[in-house]
Amino acid sequence: MRTRANERQPPFITDGGRDSSRDLGQERHRILRELRQQLTRHPAIEEVQGIPDGKLRELRADINPSAFGRDAERATLRVAWWPAPEDSEFTVHYSESTGYDCGFHREPNPHVDGKAHFQERSGPGDDYEYESVSFSVETPSRLLWTILDQLVDRLQ
């Protein structure tokens, strides 16, 4: 399809196909900001902060474990989102003071078919168990509520 006429392209396109209409760094800021807002609306979430401090690459929320039906002293939720030209990836991962942790992830994974999976383990010394899952929604904010709802089911 390439012709002489369109060979003079802006440098950011010849530099590896950076799509001038889609700034993934800006998009990640937008998504993290909205996810943070949504987390503060959820009744089980106590406090949300961006980490690392100032760099704001992901979110960490303090959770009240009893609101999730758990008998633990403390629990945190880690939320990360990586917008990509093809499939965006994400992590919503729950960890509690008992050592137990689990989470929903969407990223290619050697342990299960498909991109999205649930993984859990009883403690840091154990191996994760993986299970393939699928999500019917795409929008980050809605997906977060879907995942939090499924997390409660898994934890009870």
Partner 1 sequence: METDEETTETPGDEAWKEHTSSFDRVQSVALTVAEPRPASWIADEALVAENTARRHLQRLVELNVLTADAEGGATTYFPDPVYVRTREVRALLEEHDQDSLAALATELKSDIENWQAEFDASSPEQVRRQTAEDSFSAEDSRERRHVASDWEHTRYRLSLIEDALERYGEFTNRPAPA
73/138 with CB nearer partner 1: 138
Q: Which amino acid is at 118?
A: F
Q: Please give the backbone phi and psi of residue 79, each rounded to the nearest 5 degrees, phi first.
A: -125, 125
Q: Closest distance between partner 1 and the C-beta of residue 125, in Å?
A: 21
Residue 41 touching partner 1 (CB under 8 A): yes
Count of residues binding partner 1 (CB under 8 A)?
Answer: 50
CA–CA separation, 133 vs 104, rounded Å? Answer: 9
Question: Is the dihedral angle over the CA atoms 78, 150, 142, 72 positive or is it negative?
Answer: negative
Evaluate whether 67 touches 43 at the Cβ level (below 8 Å): yes
Interface with partner 1, residue 88, by CB under 8 A: yes
Q: Is 64 in the site for partner 1 (CB under 8 A)?
A: no
Residue selected from 82, 128, 133, 154 as contacting partner 1 according to rule CB under 8 A: 82
- For CA atoms 124, 127, 132, 138, give the dihedral sign: positive
Nearer to partner 1, 110 or 123 (CB): 110
83, 77 Cβ separation under 8 angstroms? no
Piece in contact with partner 1 (CB under 8 A), picked from 1-9, 37-45, 64-72, 126-134: 37-45
Interacting residue ranges for partner 1, rule: CB under 8 A = 15-18, 22-31, 33-34, 37-38, 41-43, 54-57, 82-85, 88-89, 107-110, 136-142, 144-150, 153
